[in-house]
Amino acid sequence: MARKSADGLHARIHAVVGRVPRGRVASYGQVARVAGLASHARLVGYAMAALQTGTSVPWHRVVNAQGRVSPRATPGADSLQRALLEREGVQFDAQGRIELARFGWQPRDRARRAANALR
């Protein structure tokens, strides 16, 4: 995939993640679907990993389909993600899972339209 093409896809993904409200989470697959990239959950992970330190994109609100924080290459990043989510009121059970039925983001059509406008 050409660099310019990847940048455009990452921008679409970042736009969707930017819509996830405080105290809510979205799965990688959900972000991919809302961005119009169904079956490309892994690409969402790459887009999150490509973010620069100090970004305004709320990367910490993206979790895996089981409602867990995924391990990161950067030491301590998964602990930081959990701490940021807990600060927003997201609760984890004893097994480290988030109840997606309670804390999962339910995007509205507006978020889908915003992501599609970036295509």
The residue with greater pLDDT, 119 or 10, is 10
Q: What digits encode the pLDDT tens for the residues 5-56? A: 668 899 999 999 999 999 999 999 999 999 999 999 999 999 999 898 889 9
Instruction: Tell me if 62 sits within 8 A of 42, measured CB to CB.
Output: no
How far from chain centre, in Å, is Cα 28?
6
Q: What is the CATH number of the domain that holds 108?
A: 1.10.10.10
Q: What is the pLDDT of residue 92?
A: 98
Give Cβ neighbours of residue 85 (< 8 Å, ≥ 6 apart): 25, 60, 61, 69, 92, 98
115 vs 11: CA distance, rounded Å:
9
The pLDDT of residue 1 is: 47
**pLDDT tens for residues 101-116?**
999 999 875 555 555 5
pTM: 0.85
Q: Residue 115 has what pLDDT?
A: 57
Q: Which domain holds residue 91?
A: 3-117
Q: What's the number of domains the chain is made of?
A: 1
